[in-house]
Amino acid sequence: MSESRKRRRGQAVEEIQPLNHEQKRIMAWLKKVRFRKKLFGGVSERDVWKKIEELNSMYNLALIAERARYDALLQARGGAGVDTNPRESEGDC
């Protein structure tokens, strides 16, 4: 859709613009994902969990990419001492 806005139930909705390649992958995946159907209605629970794990992995990669982008922006603004892994310092109490 070439428009920057979409209509949903009579309301104008801003289309989300991805910030990085990983977010683009997630958006494309969500548009094409389909679940395996069961013989007597519903969807396969095993397939749903598999898709959830796959989506979680993609979100983790997107989070890492966004963190790297954020750290680069901080460094470009002169932010010294950027902590790229805050969990390492939590156990020092």
Judge contact between 35 and 44, C-beta under 8 A.
Answer: yes
Check pLDDT > 80 for residue 47.
Answer: yes
Judge contact between 82 and 72, C-beta under 8 A.
Answer: no
Per-residue model confidence (pLDDT) at position 72: 92
Mean of the per-residue pLDDT values for the chain?
79
- SS3 label, residue 85: coil
Spans of all domains in the chain: 36-78
pLDDT tens figures, 7-26: 556 666 677 787 778 888 99
Per-residue model confidence (pLDDT) at position 11: 67
Q: What is the mean pLDDT of residues 46-58?
A: 92
Check pLDDT > 90 for residue 1.
Answer: no
Judge contact between 56 and 48, C-beta under 8 A.
Answer: no
Per-residue model confidence (pLDDT) at position 52: 93
